Structure 1
Amino acid sequence: MRPHSHSSFFVLFLSVFFSSALPSPVYPSSCHLLGKFHLNQMYQSGDLILGGIFKLHFFSSFPDLSFTSQPQQPICYGFDVRSFRQAQTMAFAIDEINRNPSLLPNVTLGYSMYDNCMNVGVGFRAALSLANGQEKQVYTLNETCTTPPILGIVGDSSSTRTIAISTVLGLYRVPLVSYFATCSCLSDRQKFPSFFRTIPSDSFQVRAMIQIMKHFGWTWAGLLYSGDDYGVHAARSFQSDLGLAAESCLAYTEVLPWDNDPVELRRIVNILRTSTARVVVAFSPKSYMINLMEEVVRQNVTGLQWIASEAWTSAAVLQTNDLMPYLGGTLGIAIRRGEIPGLKTFLMKTQPDLTYNTTFGNSMLMYYLEKVNFTTSFGDQVSFDENGDALPIYDIMNWAWLPDGSIKLHSVGEVKRSSSNHDELTLDEDIIFWNFPSKQPPRSVCSESCPPGTRRALKKGEPECCYDCVPCSEGKISNMNDSMECTRCPEDFWSSPQRDYCVPKTTEFLSYHEPLGICLTTTSLLGTFICLVVLGIFIYHRSTPIVRANNSELSFQLLLSLKFCFLCSLLFIGRPRTWTCQLRHAAFGISFVFCVSCILVKTVVVLAVFKASKPGAEASLKWFGAAQQRGTVLVLTSVQAAICTVWLVSASPTPHKNTQYHSDKIVYECAIGSTVGFGILLGYIGFLAILSFLLAFLARNLPDSFNEAKLITFSMLIFCAVWVAFVPAYISSPGKYADAVEVFAILASSYGLLVALFGPKCYIILLRPERNTKKAIMSRDIRS
């Protein structure tokens, strides 16, 4: 039949049934049925009648509609033994009620059951026939048009047919109790106010499946569903519940509705074959699964863990040796099973070929249905919630392939709703058959777990369980699996090489224990020692002409200041502390001013002596006596001391943790406090050094007997060159290397002064003593 023919047909018979409740224009004072359907029926009389709708046949056919005459009755084919047993179970239950005098005393229940031939239209006709009755009764207007005593209807088995039937019956509050319609949409009390069911809804089935997935850590699954109401609503519920279970990180690869089109089946199986998901959840009738598995076998898609909906969990037609390599180990959600005493005997006496006779108080029944609450003989509680759903419970079935080649469908657990409204999963993992070489549950994840030291980076456009593991950046860590973010380490800590924990940052400063620090310390101490040796030589030979001729007192002061210069460099080595930071630049500044002041005074004395050697200039020497020399050195040094004092008081240098050079290191250094103070300190030293250099340069051509000026000129040239080179090198050197540059400048300039000023004198004193006489000094030629 063409699709539009179905619609026309439904319009036709709906108009017939609804018009039956209206007064006839031919009989204005009465109401009566305008038509009657001849349906397959099983009937038993009684004071009160319960209706039933079962699919006793697999399919039906309709003659072509001509739209010019009344439609003919459908023809049903293919006897369904399972559904017939279900109908007989209803008959057995009514018989048991009638035989129990304590249940309905003085009332006999009967039934009227119709076959829907697995067709929506036929099932709809059956429901309306039960609601209206099949007897052609005529009533006067002073009477109420009523229906036969149908208390309610048991059925239907299909969600699609149940939705159609309940939509209409709900208008008249005719109770419809289904034993097999699982669509979660039927829990909508606004749309289906008189619907009840004894089977859990698909929403609970979905939650049961999600519980199983969470239990085994399957976070990546394929989702298949048939394109009917059952599959579509189950898939929607699955997606919705996964959204609520986001903390469990469950997702699905594809949402694949399908029908039995061969091209579509090939496409779907190809996706299953290439997908990384090892778990497949399938909501579909068994007829769909039969066609799907034919394509699975053709493409030889193995290695999948199937989770079956209750529609095909127990399908014997799929439990064959040919399909077990593909479906073995399937975990399925199954309707709760229980033994009903006496039912087997009743069914054994039933003869399907016997011909059954073919010939309310609906609101009250609704009230009592809502109050139902009892426990079955096998321990399950039965009651209906506000949506007409019974307390849900499912068995979890496992398709086991035994070593002898036989197939066993056995229960391995259950999922039920607890009294506290929580879902409870019980599984006996020891008896589950896994159809994998490892005989263990498979891993089914879109992305492997991210180890510590990495974070999840979601892939754009994909579920949150599909991600890349990105290493934490420097200075950040993650110390657990599947971290979404990396945590920054505290200020004084840095990330380990694996980025999984924080470690104290390495500290860097010019240490006594490293090669550079050892070398500079040794050089400083060696310079100090040489100063002491030279001082000892000069003291020992203080009466010799060369010592006396070179102003022995200033020479002693100069050696002392050079020793201080060498020693002050040690303050720049070692971990910076408050006192070393404050003392290092002050000691350096004062020591070098002391040294340069001695050289400056020495230079001035040389010039004064030369001028005094001229006639009439002897009186000028009185201004350059020993007291004046000491006073001048003291005054010049005191100026530097004052500069240092003001600097330390106003902006004292302090230890500083510098992390700008290296993010993974703490560079300990002395913050100078005031750049201006440091600049004035260096500037004052430079001023005295340049002044000494200029004066010595002017005196360089004095007679040889006064050749001290040449030595001073050379020493000042070295001194100035060192400190001019120091400034850019200091500025461009990071961390401890800045301290090393400053120490090197101190040592280089100190060695330059020591060697240039005292080297030649020590050479004469120790190696050329014949030149260390007054005669040798005075007899030398006076040449420029």
Structure 2
Amino acid sequence: MGTQARTLCLLLFLLQIFTKPAELAENSDFHLAGNYLLGGLFSLHANVKNVAHLDYLQVPKCNEFDMKVLGYNLMQAMRFAVEEINNHSSLLPGVRLGYEIVDVCYLSNNVQPGLYFLAQNDDFLPILKDYSQYVPQVVAVIGPDNSESTITVSNFLSLFLVPQVTYSAISDKLRNKLRFPAMLRTVPSATHHIEAMVQLMLHFRWNWIVVLVSNDDYGRENSQLLSQRVINTRDICIAFQEVLPMPEASQVLTPAERQHLNTILDKLWGTSARVVVVFSPELVLHNFFQEVLARNFTGIVWIASESWAIDPVLHNFTELRHTGTFLGITIQQMSIPGFSDFRVRHAGGGPPTPNRTNLRATCNQDCDACLNATESFSNTLVLSGERVVYSVYSAVYAVAHALHRLLSCNAKSCLTKEIYPWQLLKEIWLVNFTLLGNQLFFDQQGDMPMNLDIIQWRWGQSQNPFQSIASYSPTQKRLTYINNVSWHTPNKIPVSMCSKSCQSGQIKKPVGLHPCCFECFDCPPGTFLNRSADEFNCQFCPSSMWSHKNAITCFKRQLSFLQWYEAPTIVVAMLAALGFFSTLSMLFIFWKHFQTPMVRSAGGPMCFLMLVPLLLAFGMVPVYVGPPTVFTCFCRQALFTLCFSICLSCITVRSFQIVCVFKMASRLPRAYGFWMRYHGPYVFVAFSTAIKAMLVVANMLTSTINPMGRIDPEDPNIIILSCHPNYRNGLLLNTSMDMLLSVVGFSFAYMGKELPTNYNEAKFITLSMTFSFTSSISLCTFMSVHDGVLVTIMDLLVTVLNFLSVSLGYFGPKCYMILFYPERNTPAYFNSMIQGYTMRKS
């Protein structure tokens, strides 16, 4: 080898020695060279008060504030995703992703990093009329973690349409794409977090809660969302809401702040609410929970918002286990293979990309204590699973998939070219890919519909400190799989109610201003409670239905009417059958012996005028059985009463006629002749029947004959089916006329008690009329005392018995004489009886 060659090799060797440390320095935790750079904004330190340095113009030094272990953990997730894509993925073959990461210290340092990312490599941000051809230092930005910083940064990035994918900011303001067109996120919005929280409380029937919020936009916005949600449902009430004091960066409370904190704790100690919802960054809660421990609070269910639900530092306050049960809302658990080892790996680098070696540094890109602090919490982070970590991981992959489409990548290479942020933004909106088994895409508001988990804090060794107990789906808006909750009250769900739930069928009467505070009152019989419609008023049952006390539904009233299987119906039916067949037999006997003296003395043709209505009435008894109809009501009110009136009129006129023949014919011959000449008996029967018909028609006209139901006054569960409301009044009126005819018939029969035996029907008529009068009086008395089906039974029974009294009492003896004493049914025998009566009188 020549001298020149040896000299050239030596120079190359020295160049390699002197340039390698510089290259290693470039590839730190905060810098990685690449063809395309991603900006990363993370809170490695936090100053929740966001102190404005009005006395000097310097960017805040984040490392002067308290460190956030979760912030560094999330930053490592971004680094891991970038290196995984560069080294093990076919997503961007031949293209190297790089990153620039800046600590925003929660709120204090978010403007400077945004401008830093927008500037070009020479730190120059030109003022142009058209930025469509402008290429900033980064192609997209991941983060930051909270809504206030995200909104501030997005106001800058959106002007340049630089894609921004946040992994933890949940404010609903960010859904406004007119204001934030370049902002997307890999977490559900605050509305879904609040809905999951509300459904959790509804599941455990907690309706009396306390809300504590931080004095910043995060606390105010989330508490407002919760208040609106519970006001709409009226199922949850807020006992009181307080704003927690925001400590200085040194975490030292001023006297005024300490007094305010003591006031909050005093109210919390005195309230009956046992569920406390806390919307606050974790740093605000350090002093609060230290005071809670100092006062020995117990028996409280703490519900954590996503900002501190899985914070390992707060969880490290192990004495908190004695204050109650801790539940929280956070993103779903998703383990990322290889990340746990990467998290505690010291920074190292590979060779930078040749065309991106001029890497610069800005403020807040250092964290000397981050790695050691993360290592101390490594076991907790491993056991808890990767939750928000997956949101960062998926955000990086979303940008990578958009680059894949924009660079027209295939399995081996990509078309490396200069890209503009607005081009990449369009592709990010369209990504749809699978990552570790999850299908990921952005909805119309720029959100990824990731599931949320309800977690419980556990403090057991070698145990997941944030155990999942439920899952909430933003797409279905439903909470599922609640189990394995370990309460501070053994084997009992804690109770947090202003008033205990009312029992079934009890209405609520509000007490005070809160709808959750109420007294319970029973719904009386005849009403029911429909909680889905109105839980404050009992609703009346429909007229055809009824309910018992404390009912939630009504049932059909029992219909009351005569039925065939009932004993009274069977007895009356047997009597009616007896009357029908006996009357039919009498009709046949009288028709066969029509010309005999016995039949003629009984009334002759008028006997058939009585027997036919009797036969018809006995045959129509079934109209009283079963539910009434228009036809059966008509038969009850018209047919039966007319048939019975015809029979009574015939008996009355028959008894009058016998007296006229033997007592008045000789004394008033002209009157008797007039009576016989103009068919007086039939005229009287027709006149009586006409009067009864007019009464029946008048009763029908004044009240409908349609069947109707009315409530039994003695038992409202029963509906009495009757023909019309004035059924009893009409029945009493009809019965009164029948009673009058019975009295008149009885009087004439009594006057003729001394007549000849064959013509002397007084005892039979007297018996029939006495029974008819007595039964009518009994029926009227019974109707004045009782109501319902008993009146129908008594009406039918009395009607059948009256018909039997006429049939058997009046016609029975005559049939007996015709059949068994035919020698007495001759004209000679009747003449001898009349002569004997005349001789006795003379």
Short-chain TM bin:
0.5 to 0.7
Q: Which residue of 2 aligns with 1:370?
A: 429
Displacement of 1:204 in angstroms is 3.6
In 1: Cα distance, 2:470 partner to 2:275 partner: 20
Aligned residue among 302, 310, 315 for 2:311: 315
In 2: Cα distance, 1:119 partner to 1:51 partner: 17
Q: Which letter does structure 2 place at the counterpart of 1:659?
A: G
In 2: Cα distance, 1:642 partner to 1:61 partner: 107
Residues 72-221 of structure 1: pairs in structure 2 closer than 5 A: 74=60, 76=62, 77-80=64-67, 82=69, 83-87=71-75, 89-90=77-78, 103=92, 105=94, 109=98, 111=100, 113=102, 115-120=103-108, 122-132=109-119, 149-209=137-197, 216=203, 218=205, 220=207
Q: Which letter does structure 2 place at the counterpart of 1:324?
A: R
Q: Which letter does structure 2 place at the counterpart of 1:608?
A: M
Displacement of 1:590 in angstroms is 1.0
Do 1:302 and 1:326's aligned partners in 2 also have CA atoms closer than 8 Å? yes
Q: Which letter does structure 2 place at the counterpart of 1:80?
A: M
Displacement of 1:364 in angstroms is 3.5
Q: Which letter does structure 1 place at the counterpart of 2:67?
A: D
Residue 598 (structure 1) aligned with residue 585 (structure 2): no
Q: Which letter does structure 2 place at the counterpart of 1:124?
A: V
In 2: Cα distance, 1:222 partner to 1:464 partner: 10
Residues 339-488 of structure 1: pairs in structure 2 closer than 5 A: 339=336, 341=338, 344-345=341-342, 347-350=344-347, 357-358=361-362, 361-376=420-435, 378-400=436-458, 402=460, 408-412=464-468, 415=471, 422=476, 427=481, 429=483, 431-438=484-491, 448=501, 451=504, 454=505, 471=523, 474=526
Relative to structure 1, is the Cα distance of residues 647 and 165 closer, same or farther in structure 2, using a 3 angstrom cutoff? same
Q: Which letter does structure 1 place at the counterpart of 2:720?
A: V
Do 1:455 and 1:478's aligned partners in 2 also have CA atoms closer than 8 Å? no
Q: Which residue of 1 aligns with 2:282?
A: 286
Give the TM-score of the pair, scaled to structure 2.
0.58
Do 1:158 and 1:180's aligned partners in 2 also have CA atoms closer than 8 Å? yes
Do 2:116 and 2:123's aligned partners in 1 also have CA atoms closer than 8 Å? no
In 2: Cα distance, 1:101 partner to 1:751 partner: 111
Displacement of 1:127 in angstroms is 2.3
Q: Which residue of 2 aligns with 1:15?
A: none
In 2: Cα distance, 1:645 partner to 1:400 partner: 92
Relative to structure 1, is the Cα distance of residues 217 and 599 closer, same or farther in structure 2, using a 3 angstrom cutoff? farther
Displacement of 1:719 in angstroms is 9.5
Aligned residue among 685, 694, 705 for 1:637: 685
- C-alpha distance after superposition, 1:692-715 (max 9, x if no partner): 899999x99x9xxxxx99xx99x9
Do 1:509 and 1:668's aligned partners in 2 also have CA atoms closer than 8 Å? no
Aligned residue among 628, 633, 641 for 1:585: 641
In 1: Cα distance, 2:770 partner to 2:333 partner: 105
- C-alpha distance after superposition, 1:9-61 (max 9, x if no partner): xxxxxxxxxxxxxxxxxxxxxxxxxxxxxxxx966676665444333333388
In 2: Cα distance, 1:190 partner to 1:489 partner: 54
Displacement of 1:62 in angstroms is 5.7
- C-alpha distance after superposition, 1:551-597 (max 9, x if no partner): 98689x99x98999999799889537757625421221012112221
In 2: Cα distance, 1:342 partner to 1:170 partner: 32
Displacement of 1:182 in angstroms is 2.2
In 1: Cα distance, 2:129 partner to 2:797 partner: 123
Relative to structure 1, is the Cα distance of residues 458 and 301 closer, same or farther in structure 2, using a 3 angstrom cutoff? farther
Do 2:39 and 2:142's aligned partners in 1 also have CA atoms closer than 8 Å? yes
Relative to structure 1, is the Cα distance of residues 610 and 284 closer, same or farther in structure 2, using a 3 angstrom cutoff? farther
Displacement of 1:201 in angstroms is 3.0
Q: Which letter does structure 2 place at the counterpart of 1:274?
A: S
In 1: Cα distance, 2:670 partner to 2:343 partner: 149
Q: Which residue of 2 aligns with 1:758?
A: none
In 2: Cα distance, 1:174 partner to 1:143 partner: 14
Q: Which residue of 1 aligns with 2:272?
A: 274
Residue 326 (structure 1) aligned with residue 323 (structure 2): yes
Q: Which letter does structure 2 place at the counterpart of 1:131?
A: L
Displacement of 1:412 in angstroms is 3.2
Displacement of 1:160 in angstroms is 1.2
In 2: Cα distance, 1:327 partner to 1:499 partner: 37
In 2: Cα distance, 1:590 partner to 1:398 partner: 92
In 1: Cα distance, 2:129 partner to 2:724 partner: 110
Do 1:170 and 1:192's aligned partners in 2 also have CA atoms closer than 8 Å? yes
Q: 3-state SS of the aligned residue for 2:720?
A: strand
Relative to structure 1, is the Cα distance of residues 262 and 570 closer, same or farther in structure 2, using a 3 angstrom cutoff? farther
Q: Which residue of 2 aligns with 1:759?
A: none
Displacement of 1:721 in angstroms is 11
Q: Which letter does structure 2 place at the counterpart of 1:637?
A: V
Relative to structure 1, is the Cα distance of residues 646 and 291 closer, same or farther in structure 2, using a 3 angstrom cutoff? same
In 2: Cα distance, 1:646 partner to 1:91 partner: 107
In 1: Cα distance, 2:542 partner to 2:128 partner: 90
Do 1:329 and 1:432's aligned partners in 2 also have CA atoms closer than 8 Å? no
Residues 61-72 of structure 1: pairs in structure 2 closer than 5 A: 65=54, 71=57
In 1: Cα distance, 2:799 partner to 2:129 partner: 126
Do 1:62 and 1:73's aligned partners in 2 also have CA atoms closer than 8 Å? no
Q: How many residues align?
A: 673
Relative to structure 1, is the Cα distance of residues 52 and 716 closer, same or farther in structure 2, using a 3 angstrom cutoff? closer
Relative contact order, higher structure (CA 8 A, sep 6+)? 2
Displacement of 1:123 in angstroms is 2.1
- C-alpha distance after superposition, 1:582-614 (max 9, x if no partner): 5421221012112221343345456626737xx
Do 1:729 and 1:741's aligned partners in 2 also have CA atoms closer than 8 Å? no
Do 1:63 and 1:72's aligned partners in 2 also have CA atoms closer than 8 Å? no
Displacement of 1:629 in angstroms is 11
| Percentage of identical aligned residues | 21
Q: 3-state SS of the aligned residue for 1:659?
A: strand
Q: Which letter does structure 1 place at the counterpart of 2:450?
A: P
Do 1:447 and 1:468's aligned partners in 2 also have CA atoms closer than 8 Å? no
Q: 3-state SS of the aligned residue for 1:322?
A: helix
Q: Which residue of 2 aligns with 1:224?
A: 211
Aligned residue among 679, 703, 710 for 1:660: 710
In 2: Cα distance, 1:325 partner to 1:678 partner: 82
Q: Which letter does structure 2 place at the counterpart of 1:370?
A: W
In 1: Cα distance, 2:129 partner to 2:329 partner: 58
Relative to structure 1, is the Cα distance of residues 289 and 477 closer, same or farther in structure 2, using a 3 angstrom cutoff? closer
Q: Which residue of 2 aligns with 1:507?
A: 560
Relative to structure 1, is the Cα distance of residues 522 and 776 closer, same or farther in structure 2, using a 3 angstrom cutoff? same
Residue 258 (structure 1) aligned with residue 243 (structure 2): yes
Unaligned runs of 5+ in 1: 1-40, 530-550, 613-618, 703-707, 756-771
Displacement of 1:181 in angstroms is 1.8
Output the aligned Cα RMSD: 6.9
- C-alpha distance after superposition, 1:504-558 (max 9, x if no partner): 62424599967899899999x99xx9xxxxxxxxxxxxxxxxxxxxx98689x99
In 2: Cα distance, 1:149 partner to 1:142 partner: 19
Q: Which residue of 1 aligns with 2:587?
A: none
In 2: Cα distance, 1:143 partner to 1:717 partner: 121
Q: 3-state SS of the aligned residue for 1:349?
A: coil
Do 1:400 and 1:432's aligned partners in 2 also have CA atoms closer than 8 Å? no
